A = this chain, B = another copy of it.
Amino acid sequence: MTEFKLDPSRQRVASRLADIEPFRVMDILAQAKALQAGGRDIVHLEVGEPDFPTPAPIVEAGIRALRDGLTHYTPSLGLPELREAIASYYAERHSVRVSARRVAVTPGASGALLLAMAALFDPGDEILLADPGYPCNRHFARLVEARGVAIPVGPGTGFQLTAEAVRRNWRERTRGVLIANPANPTGTVIAHAELQAIHAVVREKGGWLIVDEIYHELVYETSPPSAASLGDDVIVINSFSKYWQMTGWRLGWLVVPEGIMPGIDRLAQNIFLAAPTPAQYAALAAFGKETRAILEIRKAILRQRRDGLVPALERLGFSIPVRPQGAFYVYAGIEQFSDDAERFSADLLRQAGVAITPGVDFGSHVAGSHVRFAYTTDDARIGEAMERLTGFLLR
């Protein structure tokens, strides 16, 4: 075997690699695990993943499918009965009629985002995104040579885009807007009237409105309508990961106008063939009453954690200008302590054994003065983290 040294001057890689930043929370997780391997006790408040295992009825449905030998490919858009179940979910939970023909089952919301970006956007097309926001969104755009345009948002608009901001930032190459409702990292919900107004602007401009609802079932005080209710031209992304706690199974879905489904199907056939089969059979148990009862208890636990964490952080001097209404995140200002959130997070991990995510993971606007706390660990551990934080801040 010939010795080989990569010579970038000869064997170059794609330019896009330089624009695709690491999803830092994964690096932090790796550092935290390395510290743990060395014997340190680390409190994990960085992970965007519920600490609960997948509910038993879902796991049992998955095991039954495996025992029954259901390990072959499904159709590329998903098991017909799962597409129907998702359609029924919209009817029963959100009172919106969504035809199963408009539902594509995908490998996680990641697969749904990839399909949507690949189906809708040409090289050079621009998609408006909130900053702060989910970091992968702009990278999905970059993958297909389109461009995510980060629009700074702040507490005044609940860290969400507005119809006015969309109109003001719409340029010749703008082809779409992506809204996460509720948003990551802020946990904030967009007012339905504002979402309607954004939809009207996007329609007027002949663009696409994509709404990421992966945390939509994790809104604590209210039940915001699904964006699917706005019209059947809205692209809706959802996932079994967060509320249904199926992260590792990699299963999500996409709702699109029926007219573009043939294109979505062709893309899905070619890009990933189909979503994982055991996950799809397991998810057939996701909408049952027994599963929902389990999930609603867990949702109440998440809410209690938020209700404890937000005032605790405020007492420590963090600024939380908008109370998070959903997801499992608190986006907190560290203005009192530092203007370098990356350094702050690294020091906190190393010195106090508390892992959080620096703002830079979510954009560049006010990123240096913000961090994200994920309340994806239990009250005792969150309490421990608050004690350690107290010590750390007094250092």
A-side residues, CB < 8 A to B, are 1-7, 10-17, 20-23, 26, 30, 49, 53-54, 59, 62-63, 66-67, 69-76, 96-97, 107-108, 110-111, 114, 118-123, 125, 135-136, 139-140, 143-145, 206-208, 229-233, 245-250, 257, 259-260, 263, 265-267, 269-279
Contact = CB atoms under 8 A, between A and B. Distances in A.
Contacts of A63: 63, 66-67
Contact of A53 (B71, B144, B270): B71
The secondary-structure label for the interface of chain A is: loop
A136 B13 contact: no
A13 B69 CA distance: 39
Nearest to A64: B63
Contacts of A96: 1
A71 to B, nearest CB: 4
B75 A26 contact: yes
A248 B274 contact: yes
A71 B49 contact: no
Given A30-B75, A70-B248, A72-B247, A266 B21 contact: yes
B140 A266 contact: no
Given A71-B247, A144-B145, 9 more contacts: A4-B233, A13-B119, A14-B121, A16-B118, A16-B122, A16-B144, A123-B145, A143-B144, A143-B267
A123 B53 CA distance: 42
A231 B277 CA distance: 36
B278 A62 contact: yes
Contact of A17 (B11, B22, B108, B119): B119
Q: Copy number of this protein in the oligomer? A: 2
Contact of A231 (B4, B66, B107, B274): B4
Contacts of A76: 23, 26
Contacts of A110: 271-273
Nearest to A275: B250
A118 B143 contact: yes
Q: Across the A-B interface, give the 6 residue pairs with the lowest CB-CB distance, nearest first.
A: A248-B277, A6-B259, A10-B206, A53-B69, A139-B270, A23-B269
A69 to B, nearest CB: 4
Given A11-B233, A13-B120, A16-B122, A271 B1 contact: no
A50 to B, nearest CB: 9
B71 A249 contact: yes
A30 B120 CA distance: 26
Given A66-B63, A250-B107, A22 B266 contact: yes
B263 A13 contact: yes
Residue among A30, A72, A136, A267 with max Cβ neighbours from chain B (10 Å): A72
Given A23-B270, A108-B272, A72 B248 contact: yes
A4 B99 CA distance: 14
